[in-house]
A = this chain, B = another copy of it.
């Protein structure tokens, strides 16, 4: 049997299986997600786009949401936190990036998925890598540097405290439904909450 020459489209010449097919499906789902969002992603469209049918999808993922989450994960990219030499500008910059992300089409998808997952803990856990716990690491990095510079109190190196700025920002989106948070809000979060908090009960204001 010869190799499978390919057109630009995903429609398979030969019958794909296993990882190759799974990959095509996830790619198709990710595309649907970016083009139409989760609410308009249908299993039939994903299947057609991947050049297969719903059977192949349901054989791998138990339902629409699970598939969508799996597809979303390959959209996510990792970025390095800033290191400007000042806590305030690091925090503000990181917050601005987060704001841009949540405001972006991808952020909208994340919000949809978060909403659709409702209270389903296992599913939420998969999204948290993007939106929650794993996202704590950069904050700890930023804060760790600031502590080394004496800009923050060591007691602040606590996940709940370190990530509070992001939590407040996410709150703007999730609860207020804002398409994007104004820069004033970010500044307010930094100056009224974050910095006072991490400078700590011991360290005097710089």
A contact set with B: CB distance below 8 Å: 108, 111-112, 114-121, 124, 128, 131-132, 158, 160-161, 164, 167-168, 170-171, 173-179, 188-189, 192-193, 196-197, 199-201, 205
Chain B residue with the shortest CB-CB distance to A205: B201
Contacts of A192 in B (CB 8 A): 158, 160-161
Minimum C-beta distance from A105 to chain B (A): 13
Chain B residue with the shortest CB-CB distance to A116: B115
State the oligomeric state as a number of copies: 2
Contacts of A132 in B (CB 8 A): 175-176
**Is there an interface contact between A161 and B118, defined as CB atoms closer than 8 Å?**
no
**Is there an interface contact between B131 and A175, defined as CB atoms closer than 8 Å?**
yes
A interface: dominant SS: helix
Contacts of A114 in B (CB 8 A): 115, 174-175
Q: List 29 A-B contacts (CB under 8 A).
A: A114-B115, A114-B175, A115-B115, A115-B116, A118-B177, A119-B177, A120-B177, A121-B176, A121-B177, A121-B178, A124-B176, A131-B175, A132-B175, A160-B189, A160-B192, A160-B193, A161-B192, A164-B168, A167-B167, A167-B168, A167-B171, A174-B174, A174-B175, A193-B197, A196-B197, A196-B200, A196-B201, A197-B197, A201-B205
Minimum C-beta distance from A188 to chain B (A): 6
Minimum C-beta distance from A129 to chain B (A): 12
Minimum C-beta distance from A183 to chain B (A): 15
Most chain B beta carbons < 10 A, residue from A128, A131, A167 = A167
